Structure 1
Amino acid sequence: MTVHPEIAKVLATLPAPDHSAPPDPQAMRAAEAEQVPPLEDRLPLHAVEDATAPGVPVRIYTPVAADSYGLLVYFHGGAFFSGSLDTHDGVARSLAKETGHKVVSVGYRLAPEAAYPAGLQDCYAVVRWAAEQGEFLKWDGGNLAVAGDSSGGNFVAAVAAMAHDDGFDRVTHQILFYPSVDLDFDVDRYTSLRENAQGYGLETPGLKPFNSFYLDSGADPSDPLVSSIKREDLAGLPPALIITAEYDPLRDEGELYGRRLHEAGVRTTVSRYAGANHGFVVNFAWIPEYHRVFKETSEFLNQR
């Protein structure tokens, strides 16, 4: 299908992008903060509270009053230099409501101020912390999932691998929304990098400048913790749900990663959303057919 008409309306209003240089991190963060809806307009939950885990800001979302919960640790996207607990608050709220899990959203350190692997270490530390905080979080001892969008999906894949390699077997699921799993931006590597190169929000010419803060801080694209698709042995990783968007330059790398997980014996579901673009879980989940991503996530987490 063509781009969803509601997405097309928004795309038509965007100014022509300038990919000649990296964006201004401070300016972009400030612009994102201005778009955060007021508290009274956000999805209500039983409780939302800020905490520290330890040294890392987190926001804990409790969907309903209950004796115990499965846990989902969420890593926001933003090309490793933008995004925040606030910009992705709506995603975390919807995940909590639809899955019934307590969601712990991670305010990890950002590039360029924090060099690689600071943000990744923060994410992994919070997952380990969550597993140790069963009483505080009322964890039922079952699901401990990791989820993230875009660069947050990159962190999901890396954290799942780190946990496996450390013998930390508590991570039960990995959920990657249109993940960035290959930071080698040769445009001939994937068909979607050319098919969806321009006009759909995230653009192929912008990938290198947007990710330059992370790469210039020490992240090596050949390192499997930076580009998870380069990990040779994917066996033993947690079951995966990978969500891709039809009109996303990153579509094919996410789907290839899913195929490689499946070939390695990992239970994997890859689900492509027709008519969607990169970022649709954050920006267009108010459209019913795209809000379904939260229901699909719930089914993946709660299936027996």
Structure 2
Amino acid sequence: MGMQTGKKRLVRGSMIVGLVFVVACFIIIGTVQSWRYTEAGRVPPKTAVILHAVDEQLLPQGLSTPSFLASPTAPTITRIDTEMATSDGGSIPLRIYKPIAAGPHPVIVYYHGGAFMEGYGNIESHDNVIRSLAGRTQAIVVAPGYRLAPEFEYPTAFNDSYETVKWVEQEADLLDADVSQLAVAGDSAGGNLAAAVSYRAKSEEGPSIKSQVLLYPLTTFLDSEFASRDLYSSGYYFLSRGVMERSRQTYAPIEEDWSSPFTSPLLTEDLSNMPDTLVLTAEFDPLRDEGEAYAKRLFEAGNQVTAVRYDGVMHGFVSFYEVMERGNDGMRQMASYLNQSFSSTGQETYNKEGFEISVLQTQDSWRDELEAYAMGAYLIGRHIERRISDIFLQNEA
């Protein structure tokens, strides 16, 4: 009799545990699904949880792919931190990743994003992108820590950026670099700098830049009418109108500078003979339309241009390549484009079929879906923890 009672209790307990698990799963799935409905449209689950985590300041430090899902690989690159003297008597830090294997190697100068302002981005915040780019291309990647506003106004960051390209050319032997295979790349504000550096190098017959990759670049400081600036400028998608206006006020406070090709590449009169260009944009990004407009202008000037829009993602999505499949796709496409550029003969013919933006409507993989709900469970737990903490603080008060 006692044994039967014990079995019944065990079965009843298992049923209760199972029921709690099912209810918890429904709560997690329902909550994550509710986060998908944002102010400007429905987003994929992984995008939704990351946007929610950042908006609620719940994103854990060191967010990366769980270790049991990662494939261990032998290191193929090494890191060097050094400094570069600038023409105005100052200096800036340089982070360099280079292959362990003997060169000479192609070289990429990468400009980090961050609205040109202190506290919004630096070579540390973008180290994962810089490191991954070096590993995937087996090229030397040089990332300058250009000086930031409000302490340093335009043209300091731009001059630092251009002088970095010249430094690479001058130090080619030391770096074991093949400067005939030189590319520039950057995201957001860094994309703006990369485009401006390419134009200055062409105009002044400076270092020969073979290709450029611009990730969701800012291309004009003017108050131009772009639909994306209105649709996605609240800040929920990682970049707000307020930040853009503050960036302009601190980085380029003199209005006459806003029309310069070195601050607003979109306004450049002569864009002929520019490097081959890849422009990546994001659907939910206030800078989407101006990045694509710049790509179109480059094409119309006779340049080889590839323009790709990733649907379902926000500004800065490539920086989340470790936890977002779409971010990893963007990272992979950037590396593949640069590898093809380095291996090309430069004899490709200009595509005269007309400008086209490739829109990638990628679907979430099962892994992305699973990770989205796992992250959702973590965030729900953080919400509960925060609520309990607030209750205790109120009671103590």
- Could you tell me the TM-score, scaled by structure 2's length? 0.66
Match of 2:183 in 1: 145
Which of 130, 138, 151 is matched with 1:100 structurally?
138
> Within 1, Cα distance between the matches of 2:222 and 2:200?
21
The amino acid of 1:185's aligned partner reads D
8 Å CA contact 2:280–2:308 kept in 1: the answer is yes
> Within 2, Cα distance between the matches of 1:174 and 1:87?
21
> Within 2, Cα distance between the matches of 1:164 and 1:155?
14
* Residue 201 (structure 1) shift: 2.3
Find the residue that maps to 1:48 and give its secondary structure: strand
Match of 1:207 in 2: 244
Which of 246, 251, 266 is matched with 1:229 structurally?
266
Q: Report 1:1-304 matches (<5 A).
A: 2-15=42-55, 45-54=76-85, 55-82=91-118, 83-186=121-224, 189-198=225-234, 199-216=236-253, 220-303=257-340, 304=344
In the alignment, structure 2 segments of 5+ residues that lack a partner are 1-40, 68-72, 86-90, 345-397
> Within 2, Cα distance between the matches of 1:219 and 1:53?
30
8 Å CA contact 1:36–1:87 kept in 2: the answer is no
> Within 2, Cα distance between the matches of 1:285 and 1:211?
31
* Residue 258 (structure 1) shift: 0.2
Q: Is the alpha carbon distance of 1:218 and 1:58 closer, same or farther for their aligned partners in structure 2, counting shifts above 3 Å?
A: farther
Find the residue that maps to 2:311 and give its secondary structure: strand
Find the residue that maps to 1:220 and give its secondary structure: helix
* Residue 295 (structure 1) shift: 2.1
- Could you tell me the TM-score, scaled by structure 1's length? 0.86
* Residue 299 (structure 1) shift: 2.3
Report which structure shows greater RCO (CA 8 Å, sep ≥6).
1
* Residue 14 (structure 1) shift: 4.1
- Alpha-carbon deviations, 1:177-208, whole Å to 9, x = none? 1000111234xx11111232333221334421
Please say which structure displays the higher CA radius of gyration.
2
* Residue 2 (structure 1) shift: 3.8
8 Å CA contact 2:195–2:212 kept in 1: the answer is yes
CA RMSD, aligned part only? Answer: 2.5
* Residue 218 (structure 1) shift: 7.1
8 Å CA contact 1:36–1:86 kept in 2: the answer is no
Instruction: Give the structure with the larger helix fraction.
Output: 2
> Within 2, Cα distance between the matches of 1:93 and 1:15?
27
The 10-residue stretch of structure 1 (203-212 or 150-159) with the greater mean CA deviation from structure 2: 203-212
> Within 2, Cα distance between the matches of 1:218 and 1:190?
20
> Within 1, Cα distance between the matches of 2:249 and 2:61?
24
8 Å CA contact 2:94–2:142 kept in 1: the answer is yes
* Residue 37 (structure 1) shift: 7.6
How many residues are treated as equivalent by the alignment? 284
8 Å CA contact 2:192–2:218 kept in 1: the answer is yes
8 Å CA contact 1:59–1:105 kept in 2: the answer is yes
> Within 2, Cα distance between the matches of 1:84 and 1:169?
24
Match of 1:31 in 2: none
8 Å CA contact 2:165–2:207 kept in 1: the answer is no
* Residue 45 (structure 1) shift: 4.8
Q: Percent identity?
A: 37
8 Å CA contact 1:69–1:102 kept in 2: the answer is yes
Q: Is the alpha carbon distance of 1:123 and 1:35 closer, same or farther for their aligned partners in structure 2, counting shifts above 3 Å?
A: farther
8 Å CA contact 1:110–1:119 kept in 2: the answer is yes
8 Å CA contact 1:202–1:278 kept in 2: the answer is yes
8 Å CA contact 2:321–2:331 kept in 1: the answer is no
